[in-house]
Structure 1
Amino acid sequence: MDVRQYVVEKAKLAQKAARQLAAASTDVKNAALLAMAEALQQRSDEILRANAQDMEAGRQKGLSQALLDRLLLTEKRIADMAEGLRQVAALPDPVGEVVKMWTRPNGLQIGQMRVPLGVVGIIYEARPNVTVDAAALCLKTGNAVLLRGGSEAIHSNTAIARIISRAAREVGLPEGAIQLIEITGREAVNVMLRLNGYLDVLIPRGGAGLIRTVVENASVPVIETGVGNCHVYVDAEADLAMAEEIVINAKTQRPAVCNAMETLLVHREVAAEFLPGLAERLTELGVELRGCPVTRSLVPGIQPATEDDWATEFLDLILAIRVVDSLDEALEHIYLYGTKHSEAIVTSNYFTARRFLQEVDAAAVYVNASTRFTDGFQFGFGAEIGISTQKLHARGPMGLTELTTIKYIVYGEGQIRE
């Protein structure tokens, strides 16, 4: 098979569909999303059988438990994907919205209108739910989508894409609106990275290696989604009972995702009171602890934390712990090792909280809440295309408006320029 020709043909179909999607009515797009949700649940057995193939292959390959959890689909997870589609259908359609309008001294009326990006390419790893989330958000915003999932989820992604694309077509969306590249080799990715003229933007979702490869090698514009080396800082004036629950949730509720906490920072004044009991609970939950010298003196028997640990997105039940002398030291640590994703402080001091909010450079900054809320669904977006850690065009969970751009619309009454 000629891989380049295969990918280009998919992109051409998506490009053709994008022109029709840009003019599709909100009612038709919403009907497609609701039909996709219904089809997912009606054909869940088919999806689960495909997912079982991927899970067995993953176990044979020796995938970590964290990666297997990302890959796993259940009836509940399929129901959640369907609910995400329904929520996106219920959201206002940003396409055609006039963001602002003003009149110039010569009488020209100038405005900004939201319009689709065009064809959005998504390169992602072992998370089949991305297939649904990406399709939902792209269709609602009038974009065609070209999907390339990881080899670990190929059977799941193929089944899901087949089901939802058929459902969308049956209610009037064009052929080619949802395209899945079913070639799992690296060559297909390399073609996508340079599909200028066909793809309007590329969005990578996955680990640091995938994101770096796309950012460094793509000639197509890229929105960089984030590696999540996230921190929780427990301040000297924290409610320690609250802090314990936040830390437990941020680390263990779903450790294999990018908004899970990877490093805990604790002020020295509360470390002796806070860490021993917390460490006992975390250990009971299967978390491997790695600590600085002060932490290890308070919690004997845990492994020493290395310089690499401070910079690592574990995506697993592993936690690095550092005791700091001040808010300034916590801020410096986050500056040095954070990935501008999600950072949290637990404190009852208003002014300390304000400093943290102002000085931490991240897409989402929390006061007295778990980092696990950095999520399109939790933010009320219905779903997300990814969590952007860059600052141009989009930042944080990317919902509908982040998948649009603007064009200027100008109304005149015969004005000519002198």
Structure 2
Amino acid sequence: MQSLNEILLQKKIKEIRFKAIASIVCGFLSIIPYLGVLFALASWILFFIVLYDLKIYGGTKNLFKNLFIVAGIGFFGILINVSVLFVILKPRIDIFGGLYFNEDNAFLAIGTFCVLFYITLALIFPFFKAFYYEIARVTKQKYFINAFWAYFIGICTLPLFGLGAIGVLIGYILKLVAWIKFKEFDEQEIVNLEERLAKEQKKVFDLKWIKITMASFIILNLLVLVFIIFQYFISFVGLDYNAELYIRRTLFYIATILALLSVFLFCKKLKTYKLFIYFLIWQGLSVFCDYILFTPPSIIMSKTAYGSLIIVLNLCCIILAFLFFKSLVQITKEKLFYLVFIFFTCNGFVAICYTSLLITLNHLVFEKLFLVGIILFQVAYFISFLIFWLKLKGQKSVKIC
């Protein structure tokens, strides 16, 4: 019969395999416009969790180090390459505000780009190879080695009319096959497993970063409200509308990513992800609603269909917010989170009433009054959410298996 440790290890292997496959699937879904950023975030979070599990259960020592070295070299390589290209091409602004380049140096720019591109790849190669070879060793899957060569050859041939994309795609497929076939860890690393688990179980259940990321989410959203106030109530001439909209959207998207990270880390500590799923769908709909809200209705649909879609999205957000806060109350036993939900619901219903009247009337006499109500309920929602989230308390230990 299998021992309890063997059974737990097999269960953990299945979890790691599922997370790795889910990460790859989310990576494919990240190509979806606008919502893709959420899938990309989920893909990277799952990817880092898989690497952490491989470190604890597989005994990998250099995965994170090699990954960060590759990312660092790649980042500075791109930064240097882009800077050199701008120096060579001498970009200029024409009288109509468009950006154009000096075409006399086009061949020099292409040659310089290729040289710097392949120098960067040469620097990355040993660390990128070590990263995949270590995963292949601990998982006993040679498909990871094949995936590495497909990736690297694909990246090397990307400048050749994009033909390298085929190699990258093959690398994705080989990596997916490797995780599907992953069944066991390397025997030499299993010997020291109990010692590694004992060290991890001594770590304190710390909510510091969970609280910091959520606080950042709320602060950034309050800044978004400041921009809205400037837009509708104050003659703010320092920024034009497009620049203001760009800054507001950037703050909103960064805030959404931080909130997702906070909830995900909280769920990871609790070993349950139902709360994160509700929050992910809720924030995804919020991002989509934000995009629809600031797109002229004539571009995508009629005025009635436009307003109806916004109303439906607001109702869906309220339902998902209820599921999220209900689960949060069950987990934390803090019933005051229902007050946060009430503020959010009031904000949603005011927005729905405003949109409904806007569908039937060309101009609202009390338009600013509706906007004041929306802003006040949003401020109440964010501040109350911040207060109760910061009151969350952790446990002294965490179960690993």
TM-score category (smaller protein): under 0.3
Q: Higher Cα Rg: structure 1 or 2?
A: 2
More helix by share: 2
Higher relative contact order (CA 8 A, sep 6+): 1
Output the TM-score relative to the length of structure 2.
Answer: 0.25
Provide the TM-score with structure 1 as the length reference: 0.24
